[in-house]
Amino acid sequence: MKIEVEQLGDLNKAKEAGHNKNFNFLSEALTAQNKDVTAIVNSLAEFQVAIPSWALGAGGTRFGRFGFQGEPSNLGQKIDDIGMLHQLTRTAGAVSLHIPWDVPEDYMAIKELASSHNILFDAVNSNTFQDQANAKHSYKFGSLSNISKVSRDQAIAHNLDVVKIGDKLGSKSLTVWLADGSNFPGQSNFQDALQHTEDSLKEIYKGLPEDWKLFIEYKPYEPNFYSTVIQDWGTSFMLANACGDKAYTLVDLGHHLPNTNIEQIVSTLMLKGKLGGFHFNDSKYGDDDLTVGSVKPYALFLIFNALVYGMENNPQNPYPAWMIDASHNIKDPLEDLMQSLEAIQEAYAKALLVDQTKLRDAQANHDVVTCQEILQNAYRTDVRPLLEKARLNAGGAINPVAAYRELEIRKKLIQERGANSIATGL
């Protein structure tokens, strides 16, 4: 499924007058506030978010899965879908693979396909939360933390295999998310589990190529409901420090207990130079994996405010790896991803509008009211014309969801792939 440049051009033409009117109005208002509109638009164009290879089909819950027709049934088709997303949004310039769900059969062909869509290979993700076919040892009672050395060794070897696969594709980082933990009090010795995890991660770290990074993801609960070995940012941070300079904490928005101050976590990690990666989603209760910005857009803005501050003031922190980690249970996954990308860009644009100097001054004067005014003035600005401009400049769609619908892309995917085509993954 390929969108012709002319088709997109025609769709944009119909929306261009409205876009220009809104953009000029906003641009004038922002310029009057001494904002550099061109610089903001350029920053938005540069901001690229990886799409996980497991997010292109309909997800599900333990109660059922309602498939979405025309899903990609192999890695090539998944990359085609991301290419289409990128063509419309110009924000999805990378893919993050989950191994062994998406091991390429022909590396050269997959690399060529990705580069034909201008898609890079971002972090690779290992999977030690499921027993693979023909696996000798089980992860039922943990992987890197398992009391049994053979299971730990198998999990270490798998992670090193994933690094090899990623290396062949040009990835530069490995993300480790562990399901390890316990379901009942007394089931596991906390200290042993943590020590084993640290030792196993150090083994993986030793096998990383020189220019690679290790991202350690945390999550408070699920699938284990009594304890999780890497339960919070502090545990991840401690493990990253134990591994070395190339190991970092990865923040997934849904992996916090309700009302956790995530922006403060972000600030702390960036101050210490240890925020490596970021998974975007939204939630009401836990790891709900909902569309980014659909429930708590103001919290997302505050998090972006901390990220922008860190990117400007913390040279000790590398540029973070961005990824969407959401699940699409009832919406068309491609439309859902476009909505997520839009929400991310919106929060980023609003954070770029925050006058950091004035905020500093207001903080120094203990002028709490002005501090809030500065943040909320930025948040209340309708920045969507800036996003449209960034997309338009880069050859994308003024309105990606509308373009997707007007071009009847899902209908065409169903015609190409069939109604029963099912994507693999979470």
Among ligand PSV, Mn ion, none, partner that 125 touches (CB below 5 to 8 angstroms by kind): ligand PSV
- The two tokens of residue 71 are 């899903």
Q: How many residues bind ligand PSV (CB under 6 A)?
A: 9
Q: How far is the CB of 54 from Mn ion (least distance, A)?
A: 11
Rounded to 10°, the helix 297-313/333-353 angle is: 60
Q: How far is the CB of 255 from ligand PSV (least distance, A)?
A: 6
According to CB under 6 A, which one of 287, 335, 342, 388 is a site residue for ligand PSV? 287
Residue 217 Cβ vs Mn ion, minimum distance, rounded to whole Å: 6
Does residue 177 belong to the site contacting ligand PSV (CB under 6 A)?
yes
Nearer to ligand PSV, 122 or 287 (CB): 287
- Minimum distance between the CB of residue 219 and Mn ion, rounded to whole angstroms? 6
Separation between Cα atoms, residue 196 and residue 413, nearest integer Å: 46
Q: From the CB of 130, what's the least distance to ligand PSV, in Å?
A: 10
122 contacts Mn ion (rule: CB under 5 A)? no
For ligand PSV, the binding residue among 71, 217, 335, 336 (CB under 6 A) is 217
- Considering beta carbons, is residue 101 or 379 the nearer one to ligand PSV? 101
What's the per-residue H, E or C state across the chain?
Answer: CCCCHHHHHHHHHHHHHHHHHHHHHHHHHHHHCCCCHHHHHHHHHHCCCEEECCCCCCCCECCECCCCCCCCCCHHHHHHHHHHHHHHHCCCCEEECECCCCCCCCHHHHHHHHHHCCCEECCEECCCCCCCCCCCCCCCCCCCCCCCHHHHHHHHHHHHHHHHHHHHHCCCEEEECCCCEECCCCCCCHHHHHHHHHHHHHHHHHCCCCCCEEEEECCCCCCCCCEECCCCHHHHHHHHHHHCCCEEEEEECCCCCCCCCHHHHHHHHHHCCCEEEEEECECCCCCCCECCCCCCHHHHHHHHHHHHHHHHHCCCCCCCEEEECCCCCCCCHHHHHHHHHHHHHHHHHHHHHCCHHHHHHHHHCCCHHHHHHHHHHHHHCCCHHHHHHHHHHCCCCCCHHHHHHHCCHHHHHHHHHCCCCCCCCC
Nearest-CB residue for ligand PSV? 177
Q: Residue 236, interface with ligand PSV (CB under 6 A)?
A: no
Q: Which of 102, 325, 332, 335 binds Mn ion (CB under 5 A)?
A: 325
Nearer to Mn ion, 317 or 327 (CB): 327
Name the binder of 197 from Mn ion, ligand PSV, none, CB < 5-8 A by kind: none
Work out which of 279, 328, 350, 410 binds ligand PSV, going by CB under 6 A: 279
Check binding of 78 to ligand PSV (CB under 6 A): no
Within positions 240 to 279, which residues make up the interface with Mn ion, using CB under 5 A?
A: 252, 279
Q: Which of 287, 335, 342, 346 binds Mn ion (CB under 5 A)?
A: 287
Residue 125 engages ligand PSV in binding (rule: CB under 6 A): yes
Distance between CA atoms of residues 106 and 103, nearest Å: 9
**169 or 426: CB nearest Mn ion:** 426
Among 122, 232, 252, 342, interactor with ligand PSV by CB under 6 A: 252
The minimum distance between CB 279 and ligand PSV, in angstroms, equals 6
Partner from ligand PSV, Mn ion, none contacting 103, C-beta within 5 to 8 A by type: none
Binding site for ligand PSV (CB under 6 A): 125, 177, 217, 219, 252, 279, 287, 325, 426
Binding residues for Mn ion (CB under 5 A): 252, 279, 287, 325
